[in-house]
Amino acid sequence: MPLVAHNRLPTFQRLKEGGEVVLSLDRATKQDIRELHIGFLNMMPDAALTATESQFIRFIGACNQIAQIYVYPFSIPELNRNEKAEAHIAEHYFEFETLQEQGLDALIITGANVSNPILEEEAFWDPLMRVISWADENVASVLCSCLATHAVVKHIHGIDRSRMGRKKWGVYSHHIANPGHPLMRDVNTRFDAPHSRYNEVTKEQLEDAGLTVLVEGEDAGVHLAVSPDQFRMVYFQGHPEYDAVSLLKEYKREVMRFFAGERDNSPRYPENYMPAPAQEVAKTYFRRAEKAIEAGDPLPPFPDAELETLVDNTWGDTGKAIVNNWLGLVYGLTSVDRHEQFMSSVDPADPLSLRI
């Protein structure tokens, strides 16, 4: 909750200059509990559809603004879904056309699986671009995750992602590259974040296009960047929303693919994620599985429960803090009659001008 400068204590002004949200007494007395309406474009594959819902909606629910927050999930019909996912979407999701008519304050876009080396050939490309074109004129800010970031920076800034030598997969240390930006308020200067991707856009590409890199890592590269206006587009290349077991589920999927003959080599462990005891459990499972195959027996159950007790979430609080800061800026920007006034006052060269 924001502080109220109810007297002339100099600390209030110092905190405000340092990026804290400090309301004047006059503004505080006029605060109402407002509504925020957040669109949530979920393009994740069927197996991760509802888990991704929970992850992002949990982040939104942790917002400490004085607001009632409505979340509107929707998807893209062109994505190939199984019957269960289609039924879930039909029952619980909204139509994009309905949300256009209703209006939204902000928008979150998830990643997606790809089947083509060229993003423009994906089934989601054209409908995603229609959403982005609408959002550019009608919402305060758009937050993109992973593949959505790669697609949107390609569309808006002409940045082509490049294939890495091997998958960037695991938990990596990052540091804040731009500590003065309001999205970085109360965020640890160094923190972990998960990545799971085969492609990347680099710091040099983003900065050459005028974007500002906020968070980066020596091994992982860029984790978070913002558009030249400092706020309208927020780009995560990593996955701050992941649960503690998200990478474990990906690892299990790849193990099962290996034993099904769908990949030639056994998967490596996600980097900096599975400690030695977890790796021992995985090795034991591999030996049991190989013996079962040799004997013509079914595969033994994967040791999900045992492994889940051995992995940690070292990034959740940081991701929550960044999303909270984002929603705080959306909250200030979408207050009555302030949208155009606010955006006209933003200096792209000075992220501090975003402060409400």
Which burial class, exposed, middle or buried, applies to 234 when counting CB atoms under 10 A from its CB (0-12, 13-18, 19+)? buried
Q: Which residue has the higher pLDDT, 347 or 255?
A: 255
**Token couple for 39:** 């669109």
d(CA 183, CA 354): 10
Q: Which of 22-36, 89-103, 167-181, 340-354 has the lowest mean pLDDT?
A: 340-354
| Out of 99-103, 114-118, 274-278, least confident range | 114-118
For residues 202 and 214, give the distance between their C-alpha atoms in angstroms, rounded to a whole number.
Answer: 13
Contact call for residues 78 and 44 (beta carbons, < 8 A):
no
SS3 state at 350: strand
* DSSP 3-state of 215: strand
Task: Note the pLDDT tens digit of each residue in 229-286.
Answer: 999 999 999 999 999 999 999 999 999 999 999 999 999 999 999 999 999 999 999 9
Rounded to 5 degrees, what are φ and ψ at 271?
A: -65, 140
Where in the sequence numbering do the catalytic residues fall? Answer: 146, 239, 241
Q: Assess whether pLDDT exceeds 90 at residue 337.
A: no
Mind listing the pLDDT tens digit for each residue in 182-206? 999 999 999 999 999 999 999 999 9
C-alpha 35: how far from its chain's center? Answer: 22
Q: Tell which residue, 108, 24, 32, has the closest CA to residue 327.
A: 108
Burial of 116 (0-12, 13-18, 19+ CB in 10 A): exposed
Angstrom CA distances, 354 to 49, 216, 224, 333, stand at 33, 21, 17, 9
CB contact set of 24 (below 8 Å; sequence gap of 6+)? 4, 5
CA distance 32 to 28: 9
What is the bridge-based pairing of β-strands 141-145 and 162-176?
unpaired
Residues of the chain above pLDDT 90, percent: 76
Residue with tokens 């959505």: 148
Does the pLDDT of residue 2 top 80, yes or no?
A: no
Orientation angle between helical segments 125-138 and 147-157, nearest 10 degrees: 70
Q: ∠ CA 64-239-225 to the nearest 5 degrees?
A: 80
Strands 106-109, 190-200: pairing is: unpaired
Give the bridge partners for 213, in sequence order.
225
Whether pLDDT at 342 is above 90: no
Instruction: Tell whether the model's pLDDT for residue 143 goes beyond 70.
Output: yes
Number of residues assigned to the chain: 356
In the predicted structure, residue 130 carries a pLDDT above the cut 70: yes
pLDDT at 179: 94
261-277 burial code (b ≥16 CB/10 A, e <16): eeeeeebebbbebbeee
Greatest pairwise CA separation for the chain in angstroms? 79
Task: Give the pair of three-digit tokens for residue 196.
Answer: 């799971």
Looking at the domain 32-243+314-354, which fold is it? Rossmann fold (3.40.50)
**Residue 181 dihedral angles phi and psi, to the nearest 5°:** -75, 140
Domain borders along the chain are: 32-243+314-354, 246-308
Q: How far apart are the first and last CA of the chain?
A: 14
- Cα angle at 143 between 271 and 241, to 5 degrees? 35
DSSP label at residue 354: G
pLDDT band at 346 (very low <50, low <70, confident <90, very high): low
